[in-house]
Amino acid sequence: MNSLIGLLVGAIAGLHIATWGMYKDAPHEGFNAARFSRSIFVGAFAGALLAQLPGVRPGAGGLLVLFGLSYVAERAVTEFWKTFLRTEDQSKYFIPMQFHILGRVVHSRVARAAAGAAAVAVGLCLLIAADAFVDAGRQLPRLLLVGIVGSLGGWYSAVGGASKDAPIEGFETLKFFRSPVVAALFALLLSPFEPDPIVIAFAALGFTIATLETYKTFCFPSKPRGKFAGKLIHHPEMLIRRRLFAPIYAAIWVTLLASFLVGHVMSG
C-alpha cells in the first residue's frame, strides 16, 4: 500500500483520537494546539510505516485494518510516553497519569523506565504466546481462532487499565470484561479483510479503543473522566467550543461504518 495513503489513514486515526481526547480534557486543561496535533502526527507516522506491511491490502477492508493498526500504534506510543517517560505535575489529576503504585506516583526515572520495559516485555510474551496458539490451533474453526486471539489485546488493555485505575476508584467487573469482549467482536468483523489473526487482533484493539472512548466521551459528556473526577472545570468555555469538532468526529465514524459495509459486500 502506498505510504501516502498510509499517512492519510493514520492522520485520520490520529484526528479521531485527538478529538475525543480534547473533548474530555479541554474543560479542565484548556485547548492546546500542540497537544491536539500530537496524536495526528504520531498516527500519520505510524500509518505511513504500517502501510508497508505485506499483509495490509488495498480496498475498503485493507484501509480499515490499517486504520485500526494506526490507532493502536498511536495509543501505545503516546500512553507509554505519558506513563513511563514524561514528568508532569500530577496534582491536577484524581488518577495519576504517570506510573504509580496504589496511587503513589513513582518519581524515579530509572524505576519508571524499568516498569515500562517490563510492560513491553509482558506484551511481547503475550504476542509470542498468541503466535504459538495460532500455529497450534490451525485445525480450529477460523472464526473461533480469530475471536480468541482477537480478545487478547482487550485482555492486555483491561489488566493494564485495572492496575492503574482500580486501586483508586475500585474494581468494576463489567468494565474489566468490556474490552476483551468488544475486541473479539471487532476481530470477527475484520476477519474477512486480513488472513493473519495477529494483525487482526491489533487492528481490533484499535477499534475497541475508538468505540469505548466514543461511548465514554459522547454518551456521558457531563461526567468527568476518571482522571479528573472531583476536579474543578477551569475552562468552562470549552464545554461549548468543543462541540465544533463533533461533526468531524461523526464524519469519521460514518466513513468507517460505510467502509465496513463496502468491505463486507466486496468480500462476500
Q: Domain spans of the chain?
A: 3-267
Whether the Cβ atoms of residue 145 and residue 130 lie closer than 8 Å to each other: no
Across the chain, what does the average pLDDT equal?
A: 90
49 or 93: which leads in pLDDT? 49
Distances in Å between the Cα of 2 and the Cα atoms of 12, 16, 73, 231, 267 are 16, 21, 18, 45, 21
Average pLDDT for 248-253: 96
Q: Give the residue among 261, 116, 121, 134 at the shortest CA–CA distance from 199.
A: 134
Place of cell 464545554: 239
Residue 20 has pLDDT above 80, yes or no: yes
The grid coordinates of residue 145 equal 481462532
Instruction: Reduce the DSSP state of residue 131 to 3 states and report it.
Output: helix
When pLDDT is cut at 50, 70 and 90, the band that residue 180 belongs to is: very high
Q: Are 230 and 37 in contact (CB under 8 A)?
A: no
CA distances from 206 to 46, 113, 209, 229 (A): 13, 25, 5, 26
- The model carries a pTM of 0.92
Q: Does 58 have pLDDT greater than 80?
A: no
